[in-house]
Amino acid sequence: MKYQDAMDYIESCAKYGIVPGMDSIRELLRRMENPQKNLKIIHIAGTNGKGSTLAFISTALAENGYKTGRYVSPTIMEYRERFQIQGKPISKAELGKLMEKVAAHADTMEKDGFSHPTPFEIETAMAFLLFAEKQCDFVVLETGMGGTLDATNVIGNTLVSVITSISKDHMGFLGESIEEIASHKAGIIKKNAVVISSCQEDAVKRVLEEKAAKEQASKIVFVDNADITKEKFDLAKTSFQYKNFKKLEICLPGTYQVKNAALALEVMLNLQEMGYPLKEDKIRKAFLGTVWNGRFQILDRKPLFLIDGAHNAAAADELRKSIQFYFTNKRIIYIIGVFRDKEYTKVIEKTCDLAEHIITVAKKGNSRALPALELAQEVAKINPVVTASDSVEEAVELSYLLADKDTVIIAFGSLAYLGDCINAVKHRKEMGKDTHGQ
């Protein structure tokens, strides 16, 4: 397949929807001779922080000389970001070849009376095939949703199970209580795996400990936030100490990123204990150089324009902390776009009182997107200074017109539209427009 043919094919598979469960992915991989069976896998589940934690871990492994595969979803800029080797997306030609191989098996399954694999199952199979063909030393794998019934959980040879912070999200699939959600996330815990978790609330901690004992994990380690000390934050660089690692530096802004970095560092320490050589200087270099799009990411400086993928209540809490920390007494303008199936009212309640003006958007062509006018009506319950925009490009343009050089513009919510924000700001700068409207 050519790249566009591959894109057309995966889009045609959207009709198969989201179907949690293992039967289809197991059958698909069986027909492909189980490319996942010999991979060394670091598997990541959780509600928030999965992507950033994955970026720290995989960058550190690659910096230490290990060929490292990444599988992530969703993506910000383009589809190929799902499949990465050494932090770089695969080529369009490679993606076409992978899709062709997996599609042949997927289509045959349907002819043989099985359910046709969903897009996520096809992509997961592509990732395993890629990493096996490239003979990766490590694969860092992010769950799509949940854990127990997530297609990525077809693996049985997990080296490290990583659990980021758990809070309420995807309740329609994972359950209403925090214990039910934690139980799904804990599904990635496997026999003999080392389990590394963020600091969790007591109810979540109990669920993870019980699952680790039941599955006979080799051990479970929780990051203690009290071990994260001497923090020094600014937008360019954050310095902190974790246990005996002094003056660790990261360039990912956002007050919450030190917790993700500490979790990733705990993974590094345990890999060392397991016999994998990792040099401290290379870990430090990797952490400082780690990049992750869409998380408190700066797109422009005057005015300051940031994007953040805060789309649930816990992420909104962290976004609020970061805004209050970095931008005290600053004039704030928001651009917000959300999915209708997310707890967007809580996101609004936790953030919208901080903004002077709010612009709502909806991703065109996305059936899950809440229409901008409906979102504006919800926002108005908290902050009446709100404008519904017809497009992301219009929203970005309006935000600049409303801003002066000291204003902070923050676009947040669903990751689905943040790529459009990046492109709109980039296009504006390339056109040489004034950096601000006043």
**Where does a domain end: 289, 307, 325?**
289
Contacts of 288 (CB under 8 A, 6+ apart): 237, 249, 250, 251
**Where does a domain end: 243, 271, 289?**
289
Torsion of CA 34, 37, 39, 41, to 10 degrees: 110
Residues 203 and 76 in one domain: yes
Count CB-CB contacts under 10 A for residue 92: 16
pLDDT at 168: 67
pLDDT at 173: 52
In this prediction the pTM is 0.89
Residue 317: which domain range?
297-430
Per the listing, tokens 């894109």 go with: 7
Count of structural domains, the chain: 2
Residue 236 lies in a domain: yes
Tell me, what CATH number does 69's domain have? 3.40.1190.10
Residues 183 and 315 in one domain: no
pLDDT digits (tens, 9 = 90+) for 357-393: 999 999 888 888 999 999 999 999 999 999 999 999 9
What are the C-alpha distances in Å from 269 to residues 138, 213, 244, 304?
16, 22, 11, 37
Residues 255 and 112 in one domain: yes
Tell me, what CATH number does 307's domain have? 3.90.190.20
**Where does a domain end: 289, 307, 341?**
289
Per the listing, tokens 């897009």 go with: 119
pLDDT at 416: 84
Residues 105 and 78 in one domain: yes
pLDDT at 7: 96
Name the nearest CA neighbour of 180 among 162, 190, 194, 166: 166
pLDDT at 150: 93
| Measured distance CA(110)–CA(106) in Å, rounded | 7
pLDDT at 169: 59
| pLDDT < 50 stretches in the chain | 170-172, 436-438
Name the nearest CA neighbour of 58 among 48, 69, 45: 69
Output the six-digit token pair for 388: 């519904």
349: part of which helix (H) or strand (E)?
helix 344-351
- DSSP, res 289: H
Residues 229 and 86 in one domain: yes
Output the six-digit token pair for 192: 């003999």
